[in-house]
Structure formats: C-alpha cells, structure tokens
Amino acid sequence: MNKKYTLGIVGVRGYVGRELLGLLANHQEIQVDWVSSRQLEGAPLSGLLGEENHFEFKGLSDEHYYRQVTIENLSAEMVAERKTDIIVLALPNGLAEPFVKALENAGNSQIIIDLSADYRFTDDWIYSVPELLNIEKISLHKVSSMMKISNPGCYATAMQIALAPLVKYINGRANCFGISGYSGAGTKPSANNDPENLKENILPYALLEHLHEKEVSYQLGLPISFSPHVVDFFRGISMTVQLELKESWNSEKLFNLFEEFYSSYPCVGVTQSIPNIQQVKNTNNCLVGGFKLSVDGRRLSFVSCLDNLLKGAASQALQNIELALNIEYL
C-alpha cells in the first residue's frame, strides 16, 4: 500500500491502543508499519480487532494489510532506529521517558505523541485538546524537526471542553463530579474494574488531588475540584459541573456563548437538554449541555459527556496527529 505517513505504536495491549488501531485500519494517509508489546510479542495484529463485545470494530477483510503485521517487542533504541514518521506511546504512566530520549537522540521521526500523563506538565511538549489548542503554539513547534504532543486525559478533556468558554466568567473554584465506565481503570485487574466489585455499585476514588484535577487547573489556569467515580458499564464519561459566575447570566446568553465557541469544531456539540453517555458512546464527539441556572443567574450546573476511549483518548490522539500533519480530521 502506498501510504504517505508511517506510524508505529508502542503498547497495544490496552484498550486505547486497540481503539487507535481500529481508527487507523482504513486511514487514507497513514499506514501502521509496526506495533510493539512485550506481553503480546509474536501474536498477529489482526487478533486485537476481533469480535470482542466492547468494541465496534468487527474484524478485518482477508486482504487487509493488518493481517501481515506481527506484534513485536521493541526496545527504545530499536524503535528509534525504525525511522517511522509518527510514534505513538500508549504506555502506562512513567514508562515513556526511555523511548522519548532515544527518539530525540536519533531524530528520525516527525511526530511523537504520548498518551500517558508523563508530559502533560512539560512546557516543551504541545498539550492539545484540539478544540482548545493555541494554533500559534503548534506553528512554533513545526519549525523544528520533531513535534512532541502530549494527549490529554479523558476526564480532563471532558472538564476542559466544559469549562473553557467560561474561564474568565467563573468566580472561584469550579466543582466537577465525574462518572466513568470501568475501561478507564485499564486492563490490569484492580478493584475499579472487578465485575463483582462493580456489580450494582458505584465506586468513588482519588477524591482529592486526582491527577486530572491538577491537569485541568494547570492547563486552564482555573482552580477546580474533581471527584471521580467508576460504575459497571464499560465505556463513557458523564461529567457534572457546578460553579458560580461573577455576574448574572440567562440561559439564552449562556447557550449562545457555547455554540459560538465551538461552532467550527464538529467533534463538540452543544445541546439544550442534558446529554448522556448513550449519545456519545462509540463516537468521536463530546456533548455539552443541560445548562441550569439558579434564580439569580449566578449559580450554574451542566453536563459534559464523551467516550473515554475515543474522544477521551484514541480519536483525540488521531485528531492531534492529523492537526500536526495538516490533514483532515478523522
């Protein structure tokens, strides 16, 4: 196949790596050249995209090029030697650094995108929710031979899309109550993805100083409080936001602010009614709405919903890659 850009993924055992593979399977301008996983070394790539109930992607044609790809176990130095245009690091937090250093030293790749939290507070990386990205910032990075992109967290994306239009109008701290499907806890067995523990249950966790609380506060320059919870469905995030406004607003003015702010971005929708997870599940979209104001117009509550594995992770990563390459989104 004659694809313009080559791409490699380090870490495909997790849910996000598999989602990204599904999105890239029929991409017109990007070809997956290789994938690396220590645990899955030697397995066929096509086996990751079968009939599993959690994923919309239902298998491959007999002729698809994925069927010729075998999962490898590549060291950081081996990855750097591949001279691949785009490197996606889909690793747990804390494991990206050796690969980044090897890639920087080799200088063979155009783009590194890290899906972990390792570089979300690092100034020489581009942190990008695409709908909120400062285009001048990405343009400055384009003059160098390598672009390093830090993909935001899933909860952090839901909160930032909700809060960004209002930042200068908020009085004090915004409060965010998040509920996620158990895929957010990853594939490694834990109390937060144990079916028996989750059955007919809701599990609060990390109720103070969660990493995504720090991430959103840092990126928006706005103090927030965030309380995450996990429940017994697989995918999706519902984020309820409550805050106080500096002055009185009405519903029409508020709705118009959000509609105008996101009018150029097809992956963000604004709705008068309260959005829910079923509306965004298995899509690349974030839906914000259900704006409710107090009688005095100063206290506001509303909801932001997205698919944590797609707009919260894999499809956002693809948006960022396409933005960096100046090709059409998704």
Q: Which of the residue ranges 17-21, 118-122, 145-149, 240-244 would you say has the lowest mean pLDDT?
A: 145-149
Residue range 166-221, pLDDT digits in tens: 999 999 999 999 999 999 887 777 888 888 888 999 999 988 889 999 999 999 99
- Residues 6 or more apart in contact with residue 163 via CB below 8 angstroms: 170, 174, 216, 220, 222, 224, 241, 243
- CA–CA dist 255, 97 (Å, integer): 42
Whether the per-residue pLDDT at 274 is higher than 70: the answer is yes
- CA–CA dist 55, 149 (Å, integer): 26
HEC secondary structure over 138-183: HHHHHCCCCEEEECCCHHHHHHHHHHHHHHHHECCCEEEEEEECHH
Q: What percent of the chain has pLDDT over 90?
A: 74
Q: What confidence score (pLDDT) does residue 317 get?
A: 97
Whether the per-residue pLDDT at 261 is higher than 80: the answer is yes
Residue range 116-174, pLDDT digits in tens: 999 999 988 999 999 998 654 555 455 456 899 999 999 999 999 999 999 999 999 99
Copy the structure tokens of residue 113.
């995108």
The residue type at 130: P
Name the one residue in this structure whose structure tokens are 């209002």.
166
pLDDT band of residue 88 (cuts 50, 70, 90) is very high
- Residues pairing with 238 in the sheet: 179, 305
pLDDT band of residue 46 (cuts 50, 70, 90) is confident
- Residues 6 or more apart in contact with residue 324 via CB below 8 angstroms: 110, 111, 138, 142, 147, 149
Q: Which of 154, 176, 267, 286 is catalytic?
A: 154
Mean pLDDT of 310-322: 96
Active site residue 267: no
Q: What confidence score (pLDDT) does residue 146 get?
A: 84
The rounded mean pLDDT for the chain is: 90
- CA–CA dist 245, 101 (Å, integer): 44
Q: What confidence score (pLDDT) does residue 3 get?
A: 60
- CA–CA dist 50, 157 (Å, integer): 28
Whether the per-residue pLDDT at 92 is higher than 60: the answer is yes
Q: Which of the residue ranges 45-54, 199-208, 260-269 would you say has the lowest mean pLDDT?
A: 45-54
Torsion on CA atoms 181, 182, 186, 191, rounded to nearest 10: 150
Mean pLDDT of 111-117: 96
Mean pLDDT of 295-313: 97
Torsion on CA atoms 312, 318, 319, 322, rounded to nearest 10: 170
Q: What confidence score (pLDDT) does residue 56 get?
A: 61
Distances (CA, A) of 285 to 103, 125, 178, 266: 32, 25, 17, 8
Can you list the domains of the chain with their CATH numbers? Answer: 5-152+313-325 (3.40.50.720), 154-307 (3.30.360.10)
Q: What confidence score (pLDDT) does residue 48 get?
A: 80
- CA–CA dist 155, 167 (Å, integer): 17
Q: What confidence score (pLDDT) does residue 196 get?
A: 84
Q: What confidence score (pLDDT) does residue 1 get?
A: 47
